[in-house]
Amino acid sequence: MASTSTINRRRFLQTTALGAAVGVAGAALPFRRAFAGELTIGFIYVGPKDDYGYNQAHAEGAATLKSIEGVSLVEEENVPETVDVQKTMESMINLDGAKLLFPTSFGYFDPHMLAMAAKFPEVQFRHCGGLWTEGKHPKNTGSYFGYIGQGQYLNGIAAGHATKSKKIGFVAAKPIPQVLQNVNSFLLGARAVDPAITAQVIFTGEWSLAVKEAEATNALIDQGVDVVTCHVDSPKVVVETAAGRGAFVCGYHANQAPLAPEKYLTGAEWNWAQVYKLYVTKLMAGEALPNFTRGGLSDGFVKMSALGPAVGEAARKQFEATLAEIKKGGFAVFKGPLADNKGNPVATAGQAFVETAIELESMNYLVEGVIGSTS
């Protein structure tokens, strides 16, 4: 449930006369904060900040900015991907004096963030995802993301050593390119341990739908899967359900080890502090902000959870050796010969795609050995 301050923030712009005045005369409001030398930054989350997942990862990154002198934060959680997020952004600008906004959820970008960017050209907006395009979108907007498929590959290595059934599972939200990369990377990591391993994927159709996530996890385990990971907003349900059924788990977004301390192998985590500090440092120095920001494990944008107690010595050695290789740069998760799960070749012998490649950003297939469909 939204807090009283959240409700007031959204309702403020709904007040007919005052709401109309805010758009043109925000500077006249007596409670607007605009102190010399202070930078106010707004963070908006689609779910709760303590979801053990996507929103928590962003909130943890945002929290690191509080130690920077002259920086203040304004945050709002549980904001849907509707016109509500426009009201939240507008109030952060007009009531709090925010000069840099991070609307973190995928669906905030178009039309909501773009509408606010056009209305407030002096404010900087940065969105998490791959939706910004040079020459198409405003210069006061931009995109940041990380090569977390590298982390899912390492998850796969841990899973490959842990599985006894040679069946691993993936609970996924939607079959968009980044999700498909993660599913494929997870299996390819496991197959670096044992080429006979297969992966079953179930798409729930929503970023956050606890009932379907629990049903999908149980369905995977009923089919013999004994290691599970996911790409949904909050992995909490998947992790707890899988561990409760005796399966091992690999995390995503943030550290879920406290939810399943004996069954948690490792996890691919975001380290958004690196990105947020980059933007804030540049803005406070009067420098232009980059419009397109990407990085992986070697850049500190992604990190791995500590290996859990169930990870054996052989798994630890392969995991750590691969992690070191990835951090050197140029590591290719996807290399030929490789086919999709319908038998169509996607990489010939000698071909290799690092995660920065455009081929991966437009990925629309599941690799051979993944049982499931994108349709």
- pLDDT tens-digit series, residues 117-149: 999 999 999 999 888 999 999 999 999 999 999
Q: How many angstroms separate the CA atoms of 311 and 109, rounded?
A: 40
- CA max distance for the chain: 68
What is the Cα–Cα distance from 218 to 79, expressed in whole angstroms?
Answer: 30
H-helix segments, the chain: 4-12, 16-25, 54-63, 83-96, 114-119, 149-162, 177-191, 210-222, 236-244, 273-284, 313-328, 358-361
Residue pair 172/354 in contact (Cβ under 8 Å)? The answer is no
Amino acid at 63: A
Q: Comparing C-alpha atoms, which of 302, 306, 307 is closest to residue 327? A: 302
Over residues 296-316, the mean pLDDT reads 97
Q: What DSSP character marks residue 332?
A: -
Compute the mean pLDDT over every residue in the chain, rounded to the nearest whole number: 91
pLDDT at 31 over 70: no
- Give dist(CA 256, CA 56) in Å, integer: 11
d(CA 268, CA 266): 7
Distance CA 37, CA 17 (A): 32
The 10s digit of each residue's pLDDT in 179-191 is: 999 999 999 999 9
Which residue type occupies 290?
A: P
Distance CA 42, CA 91 (A): 10
User: Which tokens belong to 21?
Assistant: 């005045």
CATH of domain 39-146: 3.40.50.2300
Among 27-36, 62-71, 128-137, 217-226, name the one with the lowest average pLDDT.
Answer: 27-36
Greater model confidence, 20 or 235: 235
- Interatomic CA distance for residues 372 and 217, integer angstroms: 14
| Structural domain spans, the chain | 39-146, 148-269+302-371
- Going by the DSSP 8-state scheme, the letter that residue 28 receives in this structure is G
Q: Which of 146, 73, 92 is nearest to 298 (CA)?
A: 146
Q: How far apart are CA 315 and CA 76, in angstroms?
A: 41
Query: Would you say 267 and 256 are in contact if contact means Cβ atoms under 8 Å apart?
Result: yes
Cα of 245 vs its chain's centroid, Å: 26
Tokens of 220: 């995977």
Instruction: Please give the pLDDT value at position 29.
Output: 32
pTM for the model stands at 0.88
| Alpha-carbon distances of 122 from 88, 98, 101, 125, 219, rounded to whole Å | 17, 10, 12, 10, 50
> In this predicted structure, what is the pLDDT of residue 37?
58
Q: What digits encode the pLDDT tens for the residues 83-108?
A: 999 999 999 999 999 999 999 999 99
CA pair distance 304, 309, nearest whole angstrom: 15
pLDDT in tens, 314-360: 999 999 999 999 999 999 999 999 999 999 999 999 999 998 887 88
pLDDT tens digit sequence for 356-373: 887 888 899 999 999 999
| pLDDT, average across residues 194-209 | 97
Q: Report the distance separating Cα 357 and Cα 318, nearest Å.
A: 25
What pLDDT is attached to residue 361? 82
**What is the domain class of 148-269+302-371 according to CATH?**
alpha beta
Tell me the C-alpha to C-alpha distance, in Å, between residue 82 and each of 49, 87, 108, 210. Answer: 19, 9, 8, 21
Name the pLDDT band for 246 (thresholds 50, 70, 90).
very high
From the list 229, 147, 139, the residue with the least C-alpha distance to 183 is 229
Per the CB < 8 A criterion, the answer to whether 173 and 203 are in contact is yes
Residue range 3-28: mean pLDDT, rounded: 40
pLDDT at 295 over 60: yes
- Please give the average per-residue pLDDT across 49-66, as a whole number: 97
How confident is the model at residue 11, as a pLDDT? 52
Share of the chain above pLDDT 90, in %: 86
